[in-house]
């Protein structure tokens, strides 16, 4: 049995795990959460302010697929160009400070985790950010140029495109966000398997149904009815699903083999 003689730091030690949380009142929890939210918002605001000075160059990068297709984008209201540059600065700043925001959230829940759970915390934060960045980069570098080229190809000699910068930025942001979230699939599958909520072998056995669901999701998430953009999204997501299921299977087998030693 342990007593007060263990010292004031014992509830916060990795071995203490969730015991540290019991010494905090509800008001202390709310105060800590408020500090986390305020610091995260402050980081986003500062990054947005810094991103404003690079917004012109960032905007040129975002509209590069349109220029590659031989088209220009236009703003159709006096304040639209300003608002678009502000949005670009915000999204660029948010991407820049995303690891910091995730680290602050992880620091908030850290005292309530067991030692075994803490060991996966840092790899979880790093892999989550890398997967999200990978999805956004894949979408912008591979999918967006293809979708732009195919969508503009439906024009005729009498029907020419006149693309507004506002709708175009919204289109690119929505698509990149969807891909960033979809690329978190391996992490979600591994966490569910690690928690024992799903069985990786079952995920592998039902891969045909998973492919159908992925294709349907790709048809909903990708703009336009063209098959190319849907396949560009469905193929990597299917690969992510199968690879994450295999990794989760290896992880659960390794964990099962080490369980007697942990006990």
DSSP code string of 157-173? SS----EEHHHHHHHHH
Q: Identify whether residues 135 and 40 lie together within a single domain.
A: yes
CB atoms within 10 A of CB 245: 26
Residues 109 and 221 in one domain: no
Per-residue pLDDT of the chain (263 residues; tens, 9 = 90+): 444 444 444 444 444 444 444 456 777 778 888 888 899 999 999 999 999 999 999 999 999 988 888 888 888 888 888 999 999 999 999 999 988 888 888 887 777 767 776 777 777 788 888 889 998 998 899 888 888 887 787 777 788 888 889 889 988 888 888 888 888 887 887 777 776 777 777 777 888 888 888 888 777 766 556 676 677 778 888 888 888 888 777 777 776 665 544 43
Give the pLDDT confidence score for residue 48 in this predicted structure: 94
Q: Quick one: pLDDT at residue 14?
A: 46
- Are 96 and 53 in a shared domain? yes
- Claim to verify: residue 83 and residue 153 sit in the same structural domain: yes
Question: Do the domain assignments include residue 101?
Answer: yes
Of 150, 179, 208, the last residue of a domain is 179
What is the predicted pLDDT for the residue at 186?
Answer: 79
Q: What residues contact residue 2 under an 8 Å CB cut-off, 6+ apart?
A: 10
pLDDT of residue 157: 76
Residue 149 lies in a domain: yes
The whole-number pLDDT of residue 92 equals 92
Domain assignment present for residue 142? The answer is yes
Q: Does residue 195 form part of some domain?
A: yes
Domain boundary residue among 130, 148, 179? Answer: 179
pLDDT at 256: 64
Residue 73 φ then ψ, to 5° = -115, 155
Does 193 lie in the same domain as 251? yes
- Structural domain containing residue 219: 184-255
Based on the domain organization, do 191 and 119 belong to the same domain? no
DSSP summary character for residue 77 = S
74 and 125 fall within a common domain: yes
Residue 13 belongs to a domain: no
Dist CA 94 CA 102 (whole Å): 11
Predicted confidence at residue 226, as pLDDT, reads 61
DSSP H or E segment with residue 188? helix 185-194
**What is the pLDDT, as a whole number, of residue 225?**
61
The reported pLDDT for the residue numbered 17 is: 47
Tell me which of 158, 179, 200 is where a domain ends. Answer: 179
223's tokens: 């703009």
pLDDT value of position 258: 58
* 196 and 133, same domain (yes or no): no
In a domain, 263, yes or no: no
Domain co-membership, 118 together with 28: yes
> To 5 degrees, how large is the angle CA 24–CA 29–CA 31?
120
Judgement on whether residues 57 and 92 belong to the same structural domain of the protein: yes
- Counting the structural domains of the chain, the total is 2
Same structural domain for residues 97 and 222? no
Whether 173 and 205 map to the same domain: the answer is no
């Amino acid at each position: 049995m342990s007593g007060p003689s263990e010292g004031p730091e014992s509830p916060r030690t990795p071995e203490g795990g969730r015991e540290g949380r019991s010494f905090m009142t509800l008001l202390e929890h709310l105060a800590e959460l408020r500090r986390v939210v305020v610091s995260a918002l402050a980081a986003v605001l500062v990054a947005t302010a810094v991103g404003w000075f690079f917004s012109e160059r960032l905007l040129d990068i975002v509209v590069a697929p349109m220029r590659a297709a031989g088209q220009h984008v236009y703003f159709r209201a006096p304040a639209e160009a300003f608002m678009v540059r502000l949005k670009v600065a915000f999204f660029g700043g948010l991407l820049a400070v995303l690891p910091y925001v995730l680290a602050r959230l992880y620091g908030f829940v850290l005292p309530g985790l067991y030692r075994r759970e803490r060991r996966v915390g840092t790899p979880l934060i790093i892999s989550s950010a890398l997967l999200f960045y990978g999805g956004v980069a894949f979408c912008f570098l591979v999918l967006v140029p293809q979708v732009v080229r195919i969508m503009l190809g439906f024009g005729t000699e009498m029907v020419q495109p006149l693309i507004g910068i506002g709708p175009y930025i919204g289109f690119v942001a929505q698509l990149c966000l969807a891909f960033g979230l979809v690329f978190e699939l391996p992490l979600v599958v591994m966490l569910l398997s690690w928690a024992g909520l799903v069985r990786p072998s079952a995920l592998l056995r039902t891969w045909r149904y998973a492919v159908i669901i992925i294709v349907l999701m790709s048809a909903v998430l990708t703009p336009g009815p063209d098959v190319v953009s849907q396949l560009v999204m469905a193929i990597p997501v299917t690969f992510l699903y199968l690879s994450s299921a295999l990794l989760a299977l290896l992880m659960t087998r390794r964990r099962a083999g080490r369980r007697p030693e942990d006990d």
